Structure 1
Amino acid sequence: MSLLRQLLLSVTLAILVILAGTTIFSIGSARQYLDAQLQGQSDSTATSLALTLSQPSNQDPTVRELLLSVLFDSGQFQVVEFLDPTGRILIRREMGDGRDDRVTAPDWFSHLLPLERHEAQRQVTNGWSQLGVVRLQASDAYARNALWDSTARIVSLTVGAGILWGLFVAMLMRWLRRALQDDVTARVQAMAQAAAGDELPPVRHPAMVELREVAQIITHAHQRVQATAAEHQSRIESLELELNQDAVTGLANRKYFINELRRLLEQSAPGQGEDGHVMLFRQCDLQSINQTMSRQVVDQWLRNMGQLVLEVLRERLGPQAWLARLNGSDFAFVLPMVPGPVAVRVAQAVGEILQAQRIQLGQAGLCRWRMVLTDFEPGEGLSDVLSRLDEALMRAESAGHTDVEYLPGEDLRSLTGGRGGGEQAWRTLLRNALQEGWFALATQRDPSATSEDRAQGLLTLHEPGASEPLSGYLFMPPAVRLGLSAACDVQAVSLGLGWLRTHPGDLVLRVSLASILHEEFRGEVAALLADMPDQSARLLMDLDSYGLVAHRAQVTAFAAMLREHGVRLGLRRFAEQPEALLYLHEIRPEYIRVSGTLLAAQADSPGARRLLAAVQDTAREIGAVVDLAAGS
């Protein structure tokens, strides 16, 4: 509904309320006036009749009855009666109970607006002695007719005024619409359709002050539009370039990446187009880099890294290849119509560039890149591909390796039972598992142990209705991202201690670095270990070497707590964090697992051989075993 129509409708409703109220009050006032008139008539006539009957000449019964009959025959009274002092009726004249022919008002009106019953009585005396009482009841026939006529006139006048107002409103709306169309709508449409040098149509209703002011504003706006049209046109081209470009690196931005990926997914029906791959890599230590170096140096480093990666992509894929910066630390590119083996080789080439461009972060070592790769097919949902990338990134961050984490879509669907890999789905699953106790411990013999009495424990999740349990390798990366790893690791420790109660030998459990950094985790684990000291002596905690370098205080405090309860320690991924060699004496692990990367490099690298020798020498000094057969 237009604003004008709302305004006129509001005024119309207000006028109708005023007219209705005026009509009701007028009719009510008329009825009150007629009631007062009838009561006054009854009182005055009763007084006059009583005085007349009190005269000695009128005390004869025949004369008295004659006077009462004359008064009743006047038609102004419904009842006329004379009573003796004891209350006995001596003379009574009364109209019938049927409808009075003199009343012209309809019955419904009489019931709707009834008049009061007006009675009056006076004493008739002869000196000091009472002769009787005269009682009168006025007839309301004439008053009812007068009230009906007055009401009919008032209602007719009100309806007539309403009809005239309605006609006036209709004419006013038509006139205002025409004026608005001529001086506002037509000029605005002309301004929208006019060329740069065209003029607006003239104002047709200059007498209206409001429309004249609006017309002046439209004219000024038209002039400003003409003045800025050329400037806007010149900025459009530059804005189109900036819209899809990262300001720091000059690479494509997130919007361009999303639009291109969506276009590839929607270009054909499912199963009818060419498959492709998407690679995403993240700089995990960008915040530490910004704290270590100036912003200009970091920006230049990111630009150089982006250009080197872009050169590799264009060398292998052609000049149409591009690289996008999704946010501060995430970069991605699409490999359309590229089969899996080729995509993996491209990803490895990019990974080599990234590893070569790492920056030293003091005692924490070199900065870390996490690289993930997944496939897609036309017709697949954009959110599914992005969720798969996020899932792969969570796994890469949890695993901590420097390889490309490859997660095909079919593999994720088979491992998760078609559940999907988004954060919300994982959050719901993990919270339900923690509340309902869906966790269990899967054990197997530790292949790197010197004896057969040491087992490795892995936390598994048994969701009701699932075909097979989920391995901790699948759900712990999302748990770390969602801040639920500490609760999961507490479950693992509790289940491990329970397993040791019923099984001989030792048990190795992995503990994530995120759990160690959690404030309440240490206390909860200490409480579990204190309740089962015999089993704690046969428990080994497997820690990440990166935590000993990056979070030395928290890890050493956690290790000290474990030693207090007789729990032994082990370190994994030592080759990726050789700086941990400086702090081995603080935690004194029972074993050190060195990945195959260092072993493969020692054949050609004197530095690798010296590092391995230093690790073995240090391990002998602290009584640790170097596991050269284990992976990361």
Structure 2
Amino acid sequence: MTLSKQLWLLISILLVSAFLGSFVFSSLSIRTYVEEQLVVKNTDTANALALTISQTEKDEALIETFMATQFDLGHFKHISLQPLTGEPIIFESGRPSESKTVPIWFKTLLPLSSPEATARVMDGWGEYGLLRVASDTDSAYGLLWSNIIRTMLWLMALLILVAIAARYLVRTITRPLEDVVRQAESIGRQQFIEAKEPNTEELKRVVKSMNLLSRNVKQLLVNERQHVEALRKSLQYDALTGLANRSVFMQSLQTLLDEGSADQEHRLLMFRVMDLLELNQRLGRKQTDQILCGVADCLSQLQGSLDVAQTVVAARLNGSDFALLISGKANLKALVTKLNEALRTSWEQCLPSEGQRVPIIIAATNIKGDDQREAIMTHLDGLLAQAEMEWPEQNSVISKSRYSGYGFSVDQWRAVLTGALDSGNLGLAVDQVKTSFDDIVLEELTLTIATPNWNIPAQHFRPWARRFGIEEAFDQRLFSEALALLETNQDKQLSVRLSQDTVSSVSFLSNMTEQLKRYPDQGHRLTLAIRESTAVTSPIHFAAFAKMVSELGTKVGLVDASAEFLSSDLLPSLGLSFIHLDPNLTTDIMNNGKEELFIQRICSVAHSVGMKVFIDEPAIDQKKQALQCGVDGFRYRKN
């Protein structure tokens, strides 16, 4: 027996078993429901009729009229009234009616019971008699039969759909069919190739038919070229948003690079709706589609606001990624700001009850005519990875240069990162935190990767390490290097920044605890810096981490901090050593009174719980203002 037959036998047994089980269970459930409805009908009829008779004169003719009317209104087997004195009044159906639509075997297989309902008829304060009501089951059998037939049809339709899906599953499992699948996919991409016929007889016939189809389609396309071209153009736009798709975008980008001069500058923005699958599961497809359409509308509005002389292509690259290609120069920062405002408005309109930030990250860069398309897309992918790591503190990354300068593909990045971990070609970069008197308060260590052509800083390779799931390994290496450096330099105070996943990693925490216990002196001069987003999104893990680290004599700092940490009830109990404010909070202290007041408030709260406040090195004219706000030190980045 072939593999395909074995799989089909197994699938058939499972499908038939599931069908029979579902059908039997559904049939019994429907029968139970019909019987319950008969009981309810009998009871309600008996109670209603008894109440009506109780409230009228006990005239036999009038009572018979009520009972006859009720008997004629519904399908009843009998309705009877047995007075305490006198003859009973009985209405019964005549000869049982034979349903032409319900077979006898069905009634035998699924018998219905219609329990008789009783109700007491009152005459003033005394009892007049007992009313009995029983429904005829013929109409109920008709209802039961139609519902079961409908259920069977639905189950059969579902069985057919599952069988079709199983057919495709078998096709993917059976390896010899892979060439046929690839050939079909090529035809779908208008690559009408003819495959070599295999030796297997069944597959040989299939491939021969596919080759015949390819030849026929090729000839058809030759004859109907204009029609096919018109159809192709109609398929170049995303059905949901109306934007151009990825192929149109990539073609437009290549055309722009090929036709422009080497020094001609252009702008490219790419942004991503984060956790689209989770949004779809939480909000439903309809609302998720509204969000995506809102994003597309924002792009279209931005596209319409640009200079008409500029060529602008707005595209949806895949489910969650969008892009905006602009020929000529444009202010990227202004574009990102305008786009963020439009996205925020669209988000609030789609989901007014959502309190979280807009889950969209943006990457923007300059490009020139001598750039390579693959290098540009790789660079933008890296910027998106960096923006994802920095979200929600900020959702956009604007490249200061045309591209990263590395031009690595995804596989090359993976090779560089794994090679750095294996070969040990990792270096250390040091950023110093100084007071206003240039006294060194702290030195922040980061890793660098040495390659034959570049020395790659942490902010460039960290997003890729996170994407590949090996960021914890770099954190472990950085932690070990910091302890080794502290052992040889007794006067240093060092800080290392750990990622969010590392804080909750059991293996890292176990190894860290062991090393800190082994080197307590070095641990007392080490500060572990955690991003504020980690503390906000995982407060329990962060609090447990801070408590464990402080018990070992090591300090914990908060970096990239904003206003969110002020609202945390855990802040006073965390024992944090310092906070490093987000650079976006200190861009214009001199001219922005609200920004200055805000920093003063942060410093006041931080100092009240024994924390120092650090910021990135400000401009000379803003340094004095920052000190007046209460800032304790400035980080100086080494180039």
Alpha-carbon distance in structure 2 between the residues aligned to 1:594 and 1:357: 29
Alpha-carbon distance in structure 2 between the residues aligned to 1:494 and 1:404: 32
What TM-score comes out, normalization by structure 1 length?
A: 0.55
Alpha-carbon distance in structure 1 between the residues aligned to 2:478 and 2:593: 41
Distance 1:379 1:473, change over 3 A: closer
Alpha-carbon shift at residue 585 of structure 1 (Å): 3.8
Contact 1:351 1:404 in 2 (8 A): no
Among 285, 302, 315, the alignment partner of 2:305 is: 315
Distance 1:607 1:534, change over 3 A: same
Alpha-carbon shift at residue 496 of structure 1 (Å): 0.8
- The one-character-per-residue Cα deviations of 1:289-338 (angstroms, maximum 9, x if unpaired) are 334433322321221232123212211133963421222321111111x1
- 2:257 corresponds to: 265
- 1:303 corresponds to: 293
Contact 1:619 1:626 in 2 (8 A): yes
Distance 1:380 1:559, change over 3 A: same
Structure 2 counterpart of 1:490, one-letter code = Q
Distance 1:363 1:599, change over 3 A: farther
Query: After superposition, where does 1:379-528 map in structure 2 within 5 Å?
Result: 380-400=371-391, 402=394, 404-407=396-399, 412-413=404-405, 416=406, 420-447=407-434, 452-463=439-450, 465-466=452-453, 469-503=455-489, 504-528=491-515
**Pair 1:350-2:325 in alignment:** no
Structure 1 counterpart of 2:271, one-letter code = F
Among 262, 273, 291, the alignment partner of 1:283 is: 273
Structure 2 counterpart of 1:248, one-letter code = L
- 2:168 corresponds to: none
Contact 2:269 2:362 in 1 (8 A): yes
Alpha-carbon shift at residue 491 of structure 1 (Å): 0.9
Distance 1:371 1:492, change over 3 A: same
- The one-character-per-residue Cα deviations of 1:71-99 (angstroms, maximum 9, x if unpaired) are xxxxxxxxxxxxxxxxxxxxxxxxxxxxx
Among 283, 290, 293, the alignment partner of 1:293 is: 283
Structure 2 counterpart of 1:249, one-letter code = T
- The one-character-per-residue Cα deviations of 1:351-397 (angstroms, maximum 9, x if unpaired) are 34335555689999413432212233335432111111112222323
Contact 2:462 2:471 in 1 (8 A): yes
Among 233, 242, 252, the alignment partner of 1:250 is: 242
Structure 2 counterpart of 1:300, one-letter code = Q
Structure 1 counterpart of 2:334, one-letter code = R
Deviates more, 1:594-603 or 1:581-590: 594-603
Query: After superposition, where does 1:80-479 map in structure 2 within 5 Å?
Result: 239-240=231-232, 242-267=234-259, 271=262, 274-318=264-308, 321-336=312-327, 338-339=328-329, 342-357=331-346, 365-378=356-369, 380-400=371-391, 402=394, 404-407=396-399, 412-413=404-405, 416=406, 420-447=407-434, 452-463=439-450, 465-466=452-453, 469-479=455-465
Alpha-carbon distance in structure 1 between the residues aligned to 2:455 and 2:272: 30
Structure 1 counterpart of 2:456, one-letter code = L
Alpha-carbon shift at residue 257 of structure 1 (Å): 1.3
- 1:591 corresponds to: 578
Alpha-carbon distance in structure 2 between the residues aligned to 1:263 and 1:234: 23
Distance 1:470 1:458, change over 3 A: farther
Contact 1:460 1:469 in 2 (8 A): no
Segments of 5+ residues of structure 2 without an aligned counterpart are 1-208, 616-630
Distance 1:443 1:608, change over 3 A: closer
Deviates more, 1:523-532 or 1:491-500: 523-532
- Partner-residue secondary structure (3-state), 1:250: coil
Segments of 5+ residues of structure 1 without an aligned counterpart are 1-216
Contact 1:440 1:495 in 2 (8 A): no
- Give the paired residue count: 397
Contact 1:276 1:377 in 2 (8 A): yes
- Partner-residue secondary structure (3-state), 2:527: strand
Deviates more, 1:506-515 or 1:397-406: 397-406
Structure 1 counterpart of 2:372, one-letter code = G
Contact 1:479 1:485 in 2 (8 A): yes
Alpha-carbon shift at residue 241 of structure 1 (Å): 5.4
- 2:51 corresponds to: none
Structure 2 counterpart of 1:392, one-letter code = L
Alpha-carbon distance in structure 1 between the residues aligned to 2:560 and 2:597: 18
Alpha-carbon shift at residue 489 of structure 1 (Å): 0.9
- Partner-residue secondary structure (3-state), 2:450: coil
Contact 2:317 2:323 in 1 (8 A): yes
Alpha-carbon shift at residue 500 of structure 1 (Å): 1.3
Structure 1 counterpart of 2:382, one-letter code = E
- Partner-residue secondary structure (3-state), 1:593: strand
Structure 1 counterpart of 2:485, one-letter code = W
Alpha-carbon shift at residue 574 of structure 1 (Å): 2.0
Contact 1:280 1:331 in 2 (8 A): yes
What TM-score comes out, normalization by structure 2 length?
A: 0.54
- Partner-residue secondary structure (3-state), 1:327: coil
Alpha-carbon shift at residue 458 of structure 1 (Å): 2.7
Alpha-carbon shift at residue 534 of structure 1 (Å): 1.0
Query: After superposition, where does 1:595-610 map in structure 2 within 5 Å?
Result: 595=582, 597-598=584-585
Alpha-carbon distance in structure 1 between the residues aligned to 2:554 and 2:334: 43
Alpha-carbon shift at residue 540 of structure 1 (Å): 0.8
- The one-character-per-residue Cα deviations of 1:170-197 (angstroms, maximum 9, x if unpaired) are xxxxxxxxxxxxxxxxxxxxxxxxxxxx
Alpha-carbon distance in structure 2 between the residues aligned to 1:346 and 1:253: 22
- Partner-residue secondary structure (3-state), 2:237: coil
- The one-character-per-residue Cα deviations of 1:228-258 (angstroms, maximum 9, x if unpaired) are 99xx999968854552222322222222212
Alpha-carbon shift at residue 614 of structure 1 (Å): 6.3
- The one-character-per-residue Cα deviations of 1:514-561 (angstroms, maximum 9, x if unpaired) are 433445222232232222111111111111111112233333333233
Alpha-carbon shift at residue 620 of structure 1 (Å): 4.5
Distance 1:462 1:286, change over 3 A: closer
- Partner-residue secondary structure (3-state), 2:270: strand
Structure 2 counterpart of 1:346, one-letter code = L
Contact 2:365 2:398 in 1 (8 A): yes
Contact 1:374 1:408 in 2 (8 A): yes
Structure 2 counterpart of 1:311, one-letter code = Q
- 1:133 corresponds to: none
CA RMSD of aligned residues (A): 4.0
Contact 2:433 2:442 in 1 (8 A): yes
- Greater gyration radius: 1
